[in-house]
Structure formats: C-alpha cells, structure tokens
Amino acid sequence: NLQSSTVYVFRLNTFWSNGVPACPSDFAIAETLPKVLAEETQNEEENSNDASGFKNTKEKVKLEPRHFTATGVNATSIYVSWKAPRKFNGKYDLTMKTKTQWMPITLSSTEGHISNLQSSTVYVFRLNTFWSNGVPACPSDFAIAETLPKVLAEET
C-alpha cells in the first residue's frame, strides 16, 4: 500500500555468494498519482481502449520531454538535460528533491549545471510540461543522480 502523490526511489543491491555487496544498480523512480486523478484514470481505463487512461495519447506524447537525464559531475554539482517536446509551448517546471522538500530549479535552456550540492548525495529531479492554459500536460518525467564523494571528485 503506497501513498498517493508520493515519489518512491528504488535501488536494487546485489550480493556475491559470500555476502559481499556487488555493484549497486541504477535507481528506478516512480510517483503515485494523486488520489483524485487515480480514480479518474481508473474510470477512464474502464471506458477507453487507451491503456494509459489518457483520452488523447498523440497530444500527450508530443508534450512529453524526451531523454531527461541527470549526471553527477563532481562532489557539488549535477548536470541535467532533456530534449524539448515536439509540441512545445515554452513552459517547463523543473524541481529537485532534497532530503526534506521539492525545490524549484531555474534554467535558461533545456540543460544546465545545478551547483552547491552536498557530496555523496542522491538527488531526484522532476520535470513537467504544461498545456497553453497552464495545466500540467502529462505525468512528470524523473531523473536521478548522485554527487560524487569528495575523495573521488578530487581524483578526477
């Protein structure tokens, strides 16, 4: 039982037969729908051939950002980038999850460095696009990255 409107981050760790940790996997991230939207989506799925629950899938795909990535650059910064949606109206909402809250991030283009971060810390980024009337166009896209440890950053 997961909570609605909540972001969950998953990481699969594997172990050798002797119990020693192997390399950790990449992160997987998912956000549960708000309760009201989840109920609407369920009702639409029952009345629609579109398994995603969206009435206009072609329009939804045109507004989704593509190739959204985040990469740890050094101990204090992460580089984020994405390709603009095919049908872009000029409005993005990029936020970063810290340990306690979502913080807005302002970039002048579809890429940039986020600085002044803590070393060895995992950051989650959420990217939304909007219809021309200001309503979010589709579910958020997520990227996740970890800043490098100070020692490793000094070696590179």
> Chain centroid to CA 119: how far?
20
In a domain, 2, yes or no: no
In a domain, 50, yes or no: yes
In a domain, 124, yes or no: yes
* Structure token pair of residue 69: 């990535």
pTM: 0.62
Q: How many domains does the chain have?
A: 1
Average pLDDT over residues 73-78: 95
Structural domain harbouring 11: 7-155
In a domain, 74, yes or no: yes
In this prediction, residue 94 has a pLDDT band, given cuts at 50, 70 and 90, of very high
In a domain, 1, yes or no: no
Look at residue 42 in the predicted model and tell me its pLDDT: 52
Residue 70: beta bridge partners?
A: 80
In a domain, 30, yes or no: yes
Q: Is the pLDDT of residue 105 over 90?
A: yes
Q: Is the pLDDT of residue 89 over 90?
A: no
In a domain, 44, yes or no: yes
Pick the range with the lowest mean pLDDT from 41-45, 74-78, 92-96.
41-45
In this prediction, residue 35 has a pLDDT band, given cuts at 50, 70 and 90, of low
CATH number at residue 88: 2.60.40.10
In a domain, 62, yes or no: yes
Look at residue 36 in the predicted model and tell me its pLDDT: 52
Look at residue 74 in the predicted model and tell me its pLDDT: 95
